[in-house]
Amino acid sequence: MVDPLLAAPLTDAACMARALQWAALGRLTTFPNPRVGCVIVRDGRIVGEGWHQKAGEPHAEVHALRAAGAAVRGATVYVTLEPCSHQGRTPPCADALIAAQPARVVVAMLDPNPLVAGRGVAALEAAGIAVETGLLEASARRLNRGFLSRMERGRPFVTLKLGASLDGRTAMASGQSQWITSEAARADVHRLRAEAGAVLTTSATVLADDPQLSVRAPVATARQPDRIVLDSQARVAASARVWAPGARRLWLCGVEPMQRPADVDVLPVATTADGHLDLGAALAGLGAAGVNHVLVESGSRFAGVMLRSGLVDELVLYLAPSLLGDQARGLASLPGLDTLDQRIALRYTDVRQIGPDLKITAVLQET
């Protein structure tokens, strides 16, 4: 079968789109690094390609340069993120590119990492290589919105996941709540967890439901997401399933825990006057711990607190095809919302059917 992208003319946009496709292959594995892809073209032919697979392993450019060999001299290199200029766990990619002597480097976006931030491009230009930036930048930003959030705002990108009936109910008045959404929707949540790379919940949810917060079949991932528990009073027991091995576990506490489960990282977080964790400080702590993107899975009370805090970037809502009636429990507790102009405003970005349910994705809007 002919690859439609290879069959199409190798315009700059087509090559960068292909580099973005390579980059996306790293979406479950590059944490805390960004997802990056690279395509090298000479004389109208692709001579090398690659993508960053895992932190500590070679960057996308290195894979592509190795594949291209001597052919890179005089070629055009397409890379979805500015080549790094600093010595990290691997040597600077800008140096490797300069040594390989391409004629031109096209970059989708500058790296907001303060260790790079334009220095990669400057080094290439100083070496006489023509550099262009900004091609398909919006797509490149979307692919790394978690990494960008951490670099630009010092905190992870926050996706809040909720599930409800079509009339916005999560449980009967009695509390009965199992199986409102379908098995297909629950499997899709595992996909969300794997892509976010970190799952955050509260001690209230752990104490009530003892969730595992892991990625399980039918979704497969080479890396289990970080499990993060907000726990102002450090109430979660060492026996909680969320502390089971197999992933990084972060316990965000407002007090020093009496005991510390094996291999669980405790992050002290400031508390507010009413004894709750300061959510801005908690997210800043997660950013410092290298968390790019966090999926929040909690009850309706904490969902409401998060929504009111202004810290939610995106909402994913699974809507089951059923009505539970207005006696049933609501989706998000938003006390103090009295007038319509105080509502939480969203913009739909995606809607699709997952089994019998709808999956609605929306971004939070400034109001």
Could you tell me which of 173, 181, 156 has the C-alpha nearest to residue 283? 156
Among 25-33, 56-64, 193-201, 341-349, which window interacts with a second copy (CB under 8 A)?
341-349
Question: Which residue of 3, 7, 179, 222 would you call a contact of a second copy, by CB under 8 A?
Answer: 179
Nearest CB to a second copy, comparing residues 111 and 357: 357
Give the whole-angstrom CA distance, residue 111 versus residue 313. 21
Find how far residue 40's CA is from the centre of its chain: 27
Nearest CB to a second copy, comparing residues 167 and 278: 167
Asked if residue 175 binds a second copy (CB under 8 A), the reply is no
Q: Which two tokens stand for residue 60?
A: 């996308």
Among 48-56, 71-79, 82-90, 357-365, which window interacts with a second copy (CB under 8 A)?
357-365
Question: Which residue of 12, 57, 132, 167 would you call a contact of a second copy, by CB under 8 A?
Answer: 167
Dihedral of alpha carbons 7, 13, 15, 19, sign: negative
Determine how β-strand 249-253 pairs with β-strand 264-268.
parallel
Q: Are 247 and 226 in contact (CB under 8 A)?
A: yes
Question: Which residue of 99, 220, 237, 351 would you call a contact of a second copy, by CB under 8 A?
Answer: 351
Dihedral of alpha carbons 141, 295, 244, 233, sign: positive
Give the whole-angstrom CA distance, residue 168 versus residue 152. 34
Asked if residue 166 binds a second copy (CB under 8 A), the reply is yes
Q: 167 a known binding residue?
A: no
Smallest gap from Cβ 167 to a second copy, in A, equals 4
Contact partners, residue 329, CB within 8 Å, separation at least 6: 169, 170, 171, 172, 173, 175, 177, 300
Asked if residue 165 binds a second copy (CB under 8 A), the reply is yes
Question: Is 61 tagged catalytic?
Answer: yes
Phi, psi of 14 (to 5 degrees): -65, -40
Give the whole-angstrom CA distance, residue 365 versus residue 318. 20
Q: Are 348 and 362 in contact (CB under 8 A)?
A: yes
Q: 193 a known binding residue?
A: yes
Among 44-52, 114-122, 123-131, 319-327, which window interacts with a second copy (CB under 8 A)?
319-327
Give the whole-angstrom CA distance, residue 83 versus residue 17. 17
Smallest gap from Cβ 186 to a second copy, in A, equals 16
Question: Which residue of 14, 24, 266, 334 would you call a contact of a second copy, by CB under 8 A?
Answer: 334
Q: Which helix (H) or strand (E) holds 15?
A: helix 12-24
Q: 63 a known binding residue?
A: no
Q: Give the residues across from 50 on adjacent strands.
A: 38
Smallest gap from Cβ 188 to a second copy, in A, equals 16
Asked if residue 324 binds a second copy (CB under 8 A), the reply is yes
Nearest CB to a second copy, comparing residues 43 and 338: 338
Nearest CB to a second copy, comparing residues 280 and 330: 330
Nearest CB to a second copy, comparing residues 136 and 319: 319
Q: Which two tokens stand for residue 179?
A: 């199986």
Q: 150 a known binding residue?
A: no
Asked if residue 366 binds a second copy (CB under 8 A), the reply is no
Q: Which two tokens stand for residue 355?
A: 């089994």
Asked if residue 6 binds a second copy (CB under 8 A), the reply is no
Give the whole-angstrom CA distance, residue 225 versus residue 350. 24
Residues acting as catalytic residues: 61
Binding site for a second copy (CB under 8 A): 164-169, 172-174, 176-180, 300, 304, 307, 317, 319, 321-335, 337-340, 343-348, 351, 353, 356, 358, 360, 362, 365
Q: Which residues are annotated as a binding site for Zn(2+)?
A: 59, 84, 93
Q: Which residues are annotated as a binding site for substrate?
A: 177, 193, 213, 216, 297
